[in-house]
Amino acid sequence: MNRLNRWLSLGLVIILGFLLGISGFSVWDKNPAAADRVAWSAQTQWIAPQAPTYRFYARRSFFLNDVPEAAWLRLSADNDFILYVNGRAIARDRNILYHSLGLGSRFSEDFQRANDSVAYRSRGYDWIQLANAKDWKLTTYVDLTRHLQAGRNTIAIEVQKSRQNPRVVVEGAVYPLSTSPAIDLATGTTPWVVSNLNEAHNGLLWFDRDFPDESWSSAKAIGSVQEGTYKRLSPRLFDRFLGGNWITGIESTQGEVWLRSDWQIPQHQFSRAFIRFAGDGKYALLINGLLVNRYDAEQNNQLHMYEVTNFLRPGSNTLAVHLTRPLHQLGAAAPFNPLGFFLDGWAETKSHAAIAPITTNNTWKTLEQPVSGWFNGEGEARAAQVLGSPDAQKLERTFEGDAYLLNYPDYLWHFWLWQLAGIGCAVVSAWSLGRFWLGDRLSWWNSLGAGAELLLPGTLFLIGIGLLKHRYAEAERGLLFFQQQSDSLILLGFLIVVLLTLLWSWRERRLACLGLWLPMGLTAFISLSLVSRVGASPISMCLILFGFGAIALFILLPSHTRHNFINRLTTAYQAYSPAWNQWLMLGAIVAIGFVVRAYNLGFVDLDADENTSLDATRGILRTGAPQATSGIWYTRSPAYHYMLALWLRLLGDSVVNARFLSVLWGTATLVLVYVLTRKITGKAWIALIVTAILAFDPSQVYFSRFIRFYQVVQCLSILSFWLFLKGFVDRSGRAYQYGFFIALTLTILNQEVTVTLLPCFLVGFIFFYRPFRWADDWQIVMSSVVSMGIIAYDLVFFSIRCLTPWVALSDSTDAYLKVHFFSISGLANNFFVGPSRMHIIYSFFFLLGWIYFLKRRDGKTLFLFSSVSINLILLTILIYQIATRYTYQIYPIFILLAVYSAACIAESVASKFEVFTRNLLPSRGIAIASVLLLLILNVEPNRVLASYHDALTRRNNEAFAYISSHRQAGDVVISTSPAAASTGLGGLDYFIPGNIRFDVFYWNNGRVIDRWGGGKLISNLDQMSHILENSKRVWLHVDNHTEGRFEPVFRDYIETLGQPIMETFGARVRLWKPEDGVFPHVPYQGGDLGAY
Q: Taking residues 237-257, what's their average pLDDT? A: 92
- Same topology, domains 45-231 and 243-389? Answer is yes
**CA–CA dist 902, 845 (Å, integer):** 5
Instruction: Give residue 315's Cα distance to chain centre.
Output: 41
The backbone region for 610, taken as left when phi is positive above 0, alpha when psi lies in -120 to 50, beta otherwise, is alpha
**CA–CA dist 888, 412 (Å, integer):** 40
CB count, 10 Å around CB of 187?
27
Nearest to 156 by CA among 110, 117, 199: 199
Whether 714 has a pLDDT exceeding 90, the answer reads yes
371 CB-near residues (< 8 Å, 6+ apart)? 378, 379
CATH superfamily of 243-389: Galactose-binding domain-like (2.60.120.260)
- pTM: predicted TM-score of the whole model, two decimal places: 0.91
**What percentage of the chain has pLDDT greater than the value 90?**
60
**CA–CA dist 318, 321 (Å, integer):** 10
Question: Any long-range contacts for 524-530 (C-beta under 8 Å, 24+ apart)?
Answer: 524/499, 526/495, 527/492, 527/495, 527/496, 527/499, 530/27, 530/488, 530/489, 530/491, 530/492, 530/495
Question: Rounded mean pLDDT of the chain?
Answer: 87
Helix (H) or strand (E) holding 954: none
Question: How does pLDDT run across 731-763, given as a tens digit for each residue?
Answer: 999 999 999 999 999 999 999 999 999 999 999
> 951 and 80 in contact (C-beta within 8 Å)?
no
**CA–CA dist 28, 422 (Å, integer):** 13
Question: How does pLDDT run across 795-814, given as a tens digit for each residue?
Answer: 888 877 765 555 554 445 45
Question: How does pLDDT run across 893-951, given as a tens digit for each residue?
Answer: 999 999 999 999 999 988 887 776 677 788 888 899 999 999 999 998 889 999 999 99
> Residue 70: beta bridge partners?
175
Range 6-39 burial, b when 16+ CB lie within 10 A, else e: bebbbebbebbbbbbbbbbbbbeebbbbbbbebe
Whether 50 has a pLDDT exceeding 80, the answer reads yes
pLDDT at 242: 93
CATH superfamily of 45-231: Galactose-binding domain-like (2.60.120.260)
Nearest to 861 by CA among 992, 963, 768, 924: 768
Among 249-263, 329-343, 516-530, 954-968, the range scoring the smallest mean pLDDT is: 516-530
Q: Taking residues 972-981, what's their average pLDDT? A: 93
Whether 501 has a pLDDT exceeding 60, the answer reads yes
Q: ∠ CA 925-931-935 to the nearest 5 degrees?
A: 140
The CA radius of gyration of the chain, in Å to the nearest whole number, is: 34
Q: Quickly state the pLDDT bin for 1092 (edges 50, 70, 90).
A: very low
> 695 and 596 in contact (C-beta within 8 Å)?
yes
Query: Domain boundaries in the chain?
Result: 3-34+410-536, 45-231, 243-389, 581-948, 956-1076
Among 245-259, 303-317, 736-750, 1004-1018, the range scoring the smallest mean pLDDT is: 1004-1018
558 CB-near residues (< 8 Å, 6+ apart)? none
Q: Taking residues 488-495, what's their average pLDDT? A: 87
**CA–CA dist 490, 485 (Å, integer):** 9
What one-character-per-residue DSSP string does 28-94 give? Answer: II-PPPP-EEP---SS-EEEE-SS--SEEEEEEEEEESS-EEEEEEEEEEESEEEEEETTEEEEEE-
pLDDT at 1009: 87
**CA–CA dist 1011, 808 (Å, integer):** 14
